[in-house]
Amino acid sequence: MRYVRPMRDPVAFSSAQLPIEHFDERFSQDNLAFWVPLLIECAQIQPGHRVLDVGCGTGGFARAIAKTASAAVTGVDYSERFIAFARELPAPQQGTVEWKVGSAEAQPVEDNSFDRVLLSLVLHQLQHPELAVAEAFRALNAGGKVVVRTIAPEDVANRVPERFVPAMAAADAERMPPLDAIERWLQEAGFTVTGRRRVLHNKKLRLADEERQLLIEAHSRYTFVSAAEVDSGLRLMRKDAKANGADWVDPRPTYFIAASKTASTDLEAGPSYQGIQHHRWRPGNSPLPLCHRVVPHSRTHCHCRLKDLSYLGDECSYILANLHQLISQSPAGPGVLTARLTRVAISSGAGRWDFS
């Protein structure tokens, strides 16, 4: 399925619009007991790992992962309210947590500074989800792993409450990125996709909770759903709950997509010249890396990151042979640019590499 940017601005009805206590209910004991072991397993989180939880909200997963896996978790969210709430909670009994306000699309963390990155139900709320994926790649060290937790657009209409409120279902289905698109963003960022797993939660529902939550959601962020449709949704919900009695459950199918930042095998050592080791691309492999986040700072130099070159160390200064073309294509300031380079020379404190 192709990714089409949603017509409705995903930021306008992001979870950050929600009252804190309502939002924090997603981290109920029941939900933590179900999702946290899965997140730890899919991301292969080990004791001592530095884990970045992007779009952590009020931090329930971050705290539980720190405690369960003895990990050092950093939670990032762009909602100052959610992070302030997370900061007030007691420290976990094991592991550590740290909180940062910041954007998933420009994560406030150093390059290569995490072993694991979690993007749990956050990509669908972003203007530029592919940037958040590229940022996860930047934040991870070589060998690090990212896990995306998401809902497939085709599964939305059967969830509660969307099952009873068609306008809500349509908007949510439109904003959830197709799984193929997420895997493509991961690959374009430089990741190797290692697995896709579908999980059924089969959550037992309580009518009073579902009614209350539908009303809060409709009033605080799905404001485009008419009062008549909300009323009709409540009626349908009651009928469904009554018909199913104690067996009223929501399967809530959810996907985990895992990917690794592997060291590239595309390079082979070339001759050493004036004490500097040169490398070249192995024949048959992709000729040159894709370049992104180019920041031109003169007509002859620019600053950028090339995917798959993390093992060369921190960000280098890249001198690009076809810089004129790059500059003419690139946005005025820092931004995203996708261009296939034909020749590139890289210089850093550690030496100089030529690729052609």
Ligand X SMILES: C[S@@+](CC[C@H](N)C(=O)[O-])C[C@H]1O[C@@H](n2cnc3c(N)ncnc32)[C@H](O)[C@@H]1O
Contact 86, 62 (CB under 8 A): yes
**DSSP-assigned states of every residue in 41-92:** HHHT--TT-EEEEET-TT-HHHHHHHHHHT-EEEEEES-HHHHHHHHHSPPP
78 binds ligand X (CB under 6 A): yes
Contact 334, 293 (CB under 8 A): yes
Near ligand X by CB under 6 A: residue from 43, 64, 66, 103: 103
Contact 54, 132 (CB under 8 A): yes
H or E segment to which residue 270 belongs: strand 267-273
Contact 237, 181 (CB under 8 A): no
Which segment (1-9, 101-109, 139-147, 153-161) binds ligand X by CB under 6 A?
101-109
3-state SS, residue 78: coil
120 binds ligand X (CB under 6 A): yes
Nearer to ligand X by C-beta: 220 or 348? 220
The tokens describing 8, both together, are 């409705």
Tell the smallest beta-carbon distance from residue 350 to ligand X (Å): 33
Nearer to ligand X by C-beta: 14 or 112? 14
104 binds ligand X (CB under 6 A): yes
CA end-to-end span of the chain: 36
Please give the sequence-ordered ranges of beta strands (E in DSSP) within 91-230, or none if there are none: 96-101, 114-120, 140-150, 192-199, 203-204
Near ligand X by CB under 6 A: residue from 74, 79, 150, 310: 79
Tell the smallest beta-carbon distance from residue 79 to ligand X (Å): 4
The tokens describing 287, both together, are 């000729």
Size of the site for ligand X (CB under 6 A): 21
Question: What residues from 314 to 333 belong to the interface with ligand X (CB under 6 A)?
Answer: none
201 binds ligand X (CB under 6 A): no
> Binding mask 25-44 vs ligand X (x if CB under 6 A, - otherwise)?
-x------------------
* Among candidate residues 81, 120, 80, 73, the one with its CA nearest the CA of residue 98: 73
Which segment (8-16, 183-191, 259-267, 310-318) binds ligand X by CB under 6 A?
8-16
Chain centroid to Cα 350, Å, comes to 32
123 binds ligand X (CB under 6 A): no
> Binding mask 130-159 vs ligand X (x if CB under 6 A, - otherwise)?
-------------------x----------
Tell the smallest beta-carbon distance from residue 301 to ligand X (Å): 31
Nearer to ligand X by C-beta: 61 or 222? 61
* Among candidate residues 120, 121, 86, 122, the one with its CA nearest the CA of residue 105: 122
Residues that bind ligand X (CB under 6 A): 14-16, 26, 55-57, 61, 77-79, 82, 103-105, 120-122, 125-126, 149
